[in-house]
């Protein structure tokens, strides 16, 4: 009796070539709707599922393959009693299942798609066949990825059958395929009910591999880059690499940090990142001025840095960036003139991420721990003037208030303990990742030097002692922004008052571990 394969695919890449190879090997083909039409148009013999089951497709195609003559044919084990039962029921065994699923992810990615359209693109029969075949991989082979067609055909031609190892590998890929499919559906429904259940009982997430990376943080660590089933517009995972060397693990970490930082500003802002911390951030009348000022904040650290800009890169900005060595640049887009200029630096990685929408939604943040992982909402909180509480005798001037808000948005993106000194919309000093706050302040103020006079200072968390305020006063800082909430707040306020500084509390901190 000839072997039989059932083929039902949404992605028809390589379908005809696979089917023709099977027919040449003497296999019989069973298929459904559009797949059957494609095979017939290629001149290949195919039997419709309805002819096998003796039952028509019903409910607008919702029920096609959900039938004992299909699932019995797939699930029967190679046991005498199972084979006898198939014969008794008039069922012929199926030996190969070739299925990929309705384009759910592609459907929900379309602008304006309705929940009704999304639901109709949830495949039921396909996953059922895939899981049945994967469960019974001892006898039945299952193929969900067109990239595997060539290898499957080659092994069938050479050996007449697939080895247990190949079946097991294909079964693992099949279960991963249906798991990822279900994860995308679960993520979509979580978005529909966002706010009702932030942290479900079972947190399900899957990723599609974008690329293998040369290595991880260090050469002895393997790594890969994955994207989520639903990629938010304006995100790093959705960015297009326009030129340059292959992205590394560290490049991607820094690019994400840089892109998130500039995304917090509506005015033109440029950021230069090293080891996920900003070494220069500035705003400007246009993006070219913003970049020049960000670079001028710390030219030494900017060498070999990652640049992010929240406006498209024009020729003037490209010319400035081309003057030094940079690892990568991410921006909404690049003008043709900018690409021509930066194209002369063939190794420079350029990423066009598109405009980040005002209502940008980022998935929950995950951090692995031994035996599990932590999940939290992203730190989206943005402070404005109305949220600030002036706690000193002197109120900040309008100019100081604008500067404080700028510094506060920057310090949010610096590793704790974090201190940032800024003036005229430019970072002058950044103290990042220190074990005590006054140590972070010393680093930031020493880096700022004489430029600290007339500048403002931002702290990501409250001052446990007045020492940071005293140090800032000695350096010439005129205003401070910090969360407040320490049992020693009064000491810090008195120190600020004694120095004639203004200080405001935000009531919210930005710890970053």
Burial of 344 (0-12, 13-18, 19+ CB in 10 A): exposed
Contacts (Cβ under 8 Å, ≥6 apart) of 300 = none
DSSP, residue by residue, 406-430: HHHHHHTTSPSS-EEEEETTEEEEE
147: left (phi over 0), alpha (psi -120 to 50) or beta: alpha
Give the whole-angstrom CA distance, residue 14 versus residue 359: 40
Of residues 352, 326, 327, the one with CA closest to residue 339: 352
Contact 506, 404 (CB under 8 A): no
Q: List strand residue ranges (DSSP E) for 4-135, in order.
A: 4-9, 28-31, 47-48, 96-100
Contact 153, 19 (CB under 8 A): no
Contact 104, 115 (CB under 8 A): no
The one catalytic residue in 3, 82, 245, 275 is 275
Q: Which two tokens stand for residue 410?
A: 């920057």
Element housing 309 (H / E): strand 305-309
Q: Which two tokens stand for residue 431?
A: 């103290």
Q: Which two tokens stand for residue 325?
A: 């060595």
Longest CA–CA span in the chain (Å) reads 96
Contact 455, 477 (CB under 8 A): yes
**358 vs 243, 365, 368, CA distance in Å?**
28, 20, 30
Catalytic annotation present for 275:
yes
Pairing of strands 96-100, 141-143: parallel
The size of the chain, in residues, is: 513
The one catalytic residue in 3, 82, 135, 245 is 135
Q: Which two tokens stand for residue 356?
A: 């980040």
Catalytic annotation present for 12:
no
**What's 334-393 look like in SS3?**
ECHHHHHHHCCCCCCEEEECCCCCCCCCCCCEEEEECCEEEEECCCCCCCCHHHCEECCC
Contact 367, 377 (CB under 8 A): no
Supply the residues annotated as catalytic.
135, 275
């Amino acid at each position: 009796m000839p072997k039989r394969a059932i083929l039902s695919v949404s992605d028809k890449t390589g379908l005809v070539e696979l089917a023709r190879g099977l027919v040449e090997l003497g296999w019989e083909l069973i298929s459904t709707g559009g797949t059957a039409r494609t095979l017939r148009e290629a001149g290949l013999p195919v039997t419709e599922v309805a002819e096998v089951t003796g039952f028509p497709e019903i409910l607008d195609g919702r029920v096609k393959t959900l039938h004992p003559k299909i699932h019995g044919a797939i699930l029967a084990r190679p046991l005498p009693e199972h084979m006898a039962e198939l014969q008794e029921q008039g069922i012929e065994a199926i030996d190969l299942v070739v299925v990929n699923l309705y384009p759910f992810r592609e459907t929900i990615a379309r602008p304006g798609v309705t929940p009704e359209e999304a639901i109709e693109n949830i495949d039921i029969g396909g996953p059922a066949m895939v899981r049945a075949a994967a469960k019974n991989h001892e006898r039945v082979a299952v193929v969900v990825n067109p990239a595997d067609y060539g290898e499957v055909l080659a092994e069938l031609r050479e050996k007449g059958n697939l080895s247990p190892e190949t079946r097991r590998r294909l079964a693992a890929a099949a279960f991963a395929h249906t798991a990822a499919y279900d994860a995308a559906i679960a993520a979509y429904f979580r978005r529909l009910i966002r706010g009702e259940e932030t942290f479900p009982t079972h947190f399900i997430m899957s990723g599609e591999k974008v690329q293998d990376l040369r290595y991880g943080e260090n050469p002895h660590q393997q790594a890969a880059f994955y994207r989520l089933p639903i990629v938010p517009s304006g995100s790093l995972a959705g960015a297009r690499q326009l030129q340059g060397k292959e992205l590394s693990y560290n490049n991607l970490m820094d690019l994400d940090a840089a892109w998130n930082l500039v995304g917090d500003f509506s005015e033109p802002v440029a950021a230069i990142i090293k080891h996920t911390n900003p070494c220069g951030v500035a705003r400007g009348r246009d993006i070219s001025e913003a970049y020049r000022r960000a670079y001028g904040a710390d030219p030494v650290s900017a060498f070999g840095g990652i640049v992010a800009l929240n406006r498209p890169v024009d020729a003037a900005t490209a010319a400035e960036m081309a003057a030094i060595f940079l690892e990568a640049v991410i921006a909404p887009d690049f003008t043709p003139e900018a690409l021509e200029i930066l194209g002369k630096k063939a190794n420079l990685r350029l990423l066009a991420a598109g405009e980040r929408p005002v209502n940008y939604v980022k998935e929950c943040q995950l951090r692995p721990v031994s035996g599990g992982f932590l999940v939290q909402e992203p730190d989206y909180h943005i402070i404005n003037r109305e949220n600030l509480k002036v706690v000193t005798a002197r109120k900040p001037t309008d100019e100081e208030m604008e500067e404080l808000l700028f510094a506060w948005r920057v310090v949010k993106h610096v590793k704790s303990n974090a201190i940032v000194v800024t003036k005229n919309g430019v970072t002058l000093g950044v103290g990042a990742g220190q074990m005590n706050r006054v140590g972070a302040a010393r680093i930031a103020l020493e880096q700022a030097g004489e430029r600290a006079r007339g500048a403002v200072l931002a702290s990501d968390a409250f001052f446990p002692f007045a020492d940071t305020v005293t140090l800032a006063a000695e350096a010439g800082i005129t205003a401070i922004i910090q969360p407040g909430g320490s049992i020693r707040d009064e000491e810090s306020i008195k120190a600020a008052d004694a120095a004639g500084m203004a200080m405001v509390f935000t009531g919210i901190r930005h710890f970053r571990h």
